[in-house]
Chain A
Amino acid sequence: MRWKRLGLATALGLLFVAPASAGAKTLIGSGSSVAQPYLQALFAGYHRVKPGISFLYTADGGNAGVKDVQAGRSQFAAQTRPPLPSDGGTTYVKLFLDGLCIYVNQQNHLANMSLGELADIFTGVRTSWTQVPSSALNTTIDAVGRDSTAGTFTFFTAAVLNGQTQGSNVNTLASDGLVANAIRQDPNSIGYAGLARSKTPGIKRVSLGGVACAPQFIKSLKYPLSRFIWLVLPTASPDPDVQKFADWIRRSVPAGEIITKGGAVPAFNKTRKHRKH
């Protein structure tokens, strides 16, 4: 008798719940862990605009996300590197920009360096700060970077090392956050991480070739390590709701504000017009 009552109550509950959730849709995505914090904020922002749309995102890495889209497991993926020949059957859409900044400890006087000097450090050619005079240090360089399977590592080796092998003296860490923390705690350290880490106390950005890792130079692509965050869709049958979401990220004013607040740089968004008094 008790089971019958419970079954009836469940059925009635479903009757009331069903109309409320009718028309609701969950978009399934996966990919870059670097892009995840920006995307989570954008998901929340889009849900406010379109309450019927919600998102399920798994940060399994940009490369794995593309494979998920190819296999039909995900409706979209986020990626931090440009398309490769192995990405067949997918379409890459530019969403917004990020800068891969070079960070040193606050105690280091280094403010600017060339791409060549940076490459020398990360290939193990320059191992002492005496070989980088403007640092005003005479200690060994403790270089920190990312794992070889991270999209950030792939971008860095292509853009800075020109495909050369990263030196064995570079300590590789599992996330941008750990890289920023290592630099903060070690006065002799240098490393690379996204623009969003510029708010970490105790570390500072180093200009490359006289160009600062700052939103205005990233947006104009003058900063040499500017990179797009991409949305990857299946070419054959992209979900219309995912396309609308991509358009919203690229064009809308609120999305641009969310991207800026998260520490990245809007590439195409309109800006809010300020009234003149």
Chain B
Amino acid sequence: MHDPLLFEQRPHWWSDRRAELSLGAVVAATLAGVVAMLVFVVVQGWPSFAHNGLAWFGSGGSVDQQIKAMFLSGETGGHYVYTFHAWALIWSTILIVGGAAALSFVSSLFVAVFVVEFAPDWMKQILHPVVRLLASVPSVIYGLLGVLVLVPFIGNHVINQADKASVSHIISLSGYSLIAGVLILTVMIAPLMISIFADGLRSVPRHWLEASQALGINRWRTFWKVGVRAARPAIVAGTVLAMARALGEAVMLAMVSGSVGFAPNPFDGLIFLYEPSRPLAPTIIQNIEGLSSPPLKHTLFAIASVLLVSAMLLSLAGWAAKQPLKRYAAA
């Protein structure tokens, strides 16, 4: 027979203290890994920044020719060339990520409001798992749909011959375009936004909405003024997360955006949307074969460090934006 007193005094092998220490060690190791990764990427990319200074972020010359010159200088064993002006890639990133985030934000907010408040129960039961499933679809599948369906459609049916001829000496309007990248990226990040927005809207206490309706205010106005306002921290969090995913998207954009280091010009009119471009992340994928060339390797790491720092700044901005909204928080 066990002595109950003795049994209680013997510490369990997985005591609270041990759990605390072990989990703390795991968290510390993870943090150390993240910091080590950041330091490694920045150190590897530093020679590219050091050679170009702030001009690294500016414009000047063809970015594709600069990449080619770097690659050849490393391969032929001569003097290394480091000249690189990334503006065309940065501008493309801003346009594609910004455009997709804006489109996705508006559509996701309305869809989330509909799913949470207005959809009939049977539809909610279908929409909920479908949105979750769409949020987890690998990006390469969206890329395939883009290459096989959207890009040929834009190239053959949307862009006319006059538009193609007007810029044919500079770029080719063949469907691989800014608008293809924006549209597919919107479809990719919208389910993530809808999912987080809907979770935030569901957590709004029901009696807040009922109190508003009791004052004679209709459902739409109640939900918009009370529900959406109370869920604003979740809306900010969802937007930041979706933008971070968009910023790092490489495979799909390498397949549909055109893969030309060209900065689309809004003053070109509607053609601007059909112009090809290549953001920062796909540039790394497309030039991965050039890692054997030291100057190109450092430049690709420099691009990676810009992406990492941008993601961190985005996260920081999201946190800062949430602070004054906390007073509206539902939970």
A residues with a Cβ closer than 8 A to B are 33, 60-64, 66-67, 84-86, 124, 127-128, 139-144, 147-151, 165, 168-174, 178, 181-182, 185-189
Contacts and interface: CB of A to CB of B under 8 A. Distances in A.
Contact of A171 (B67, B77, B259): B259
Contacts of A185: 148, 151-152, 155-156
B264 to A, nearest CB: 13
Interface residues of B, number: 44
B45 interface: no
B172 A61 contact: no
A161 to B, nearest CB: 12
B71 interface: yes
B262 interface: yes
Contacts of A188: 164, 174
Nearest to B258: A171
Contact of A127 (B155, B168, B291): B168
B286 interface: yes
A168 B262 contact: yes
By secondary structure, the B interface counts as: helix
A63 B289 contact: yes
A168 B296 contact: no
A33 B172 CA distance: 27
A172 B289 contact: no
Contacts of A171: 172, 174, 176, 258-260, 276
Given A63-B293, A169-B172, 20 more contacts: A60-B289, A61-B289, A66-B292, A139-B164, A140-B165, A142-B172, A149-B67, A149-B71, A149-B287, A168-B62, A168-B64, A168-B171, A174-B254, A181-B147, A185-B148, A185-B152, A185-B155, A186-B152, A186-B174, A188-B164
B9 interface: no
A210 B197 CA distance: 63
A147 B289 CA distance: 9
A178 B171 contact: no
Contact of B174 (A85, A128, A182): A182
A148 B72 CA distance: 9
Contacts of B64: 148, 168, 172
Contact of B71 (A60, A67, A148, A186): A148
A223 B160 CA distance: 36
Given A181-B147, A185-B152, A172 B291 contact: no
29 contacts: A61-B288, A63-B289, A63-B292, A66-B292, A140-B168, A140-B173, A142-B174, A143-B172, A144-B174, A147-B259, A149-B286, A149-B287, A149-B289, A149-B293, A149-B296, A165-B65, A168-B62, A168-B262, A169-B172, A170-B172, A171-B176, A171-B259, A171-B276, A172-B286, A174-B254, A185-B148, A185-B152, A185-B155, A186-B152
A178 B147 contact: yes
A64 B291 contact: yes
Contacts of B23: none
B161 interface: yes
A162 B254 CA distance: 28
Nearest to B289: A61
Nearest to A184: B152
A174 B254 CA distance: 8
Given A85-B77, A150-B289, A174 B259 contact: yes
A152 B223 CA distance: 58
A172 B260 contact: yes
B289 A127 contact: no
A93 to B, nearest CB: 20
A120 B112 CA distance: 53
Contacts of A85: 76-77
Contact of B286 (A33, A84, A174): A174
Contacts of B175: 186
A172 B170 CA distance: 14
Contact of B171 (A67, A144, A169): A169
Given A172-B64, A189-B174, A147 B287 contact: yes
A269 B62 CA distance: 45
Nearest to A88: B77
A84 to B, nearest CB: 6
B290 interface: yes
Contact of B170 (A64, A67, A169): A169
Interface in B111-152: 147-148, 151-152
Contacts of B68: 148-149
- For the complex of A and B, the 10 pairs showing the least CB-CB separation, nearest first, are A61-B289, A149-B290, A86-B77, A127-B168, A148-B68, A140-B164, A185-B152, A142-B174, A67-B292, A64-B292
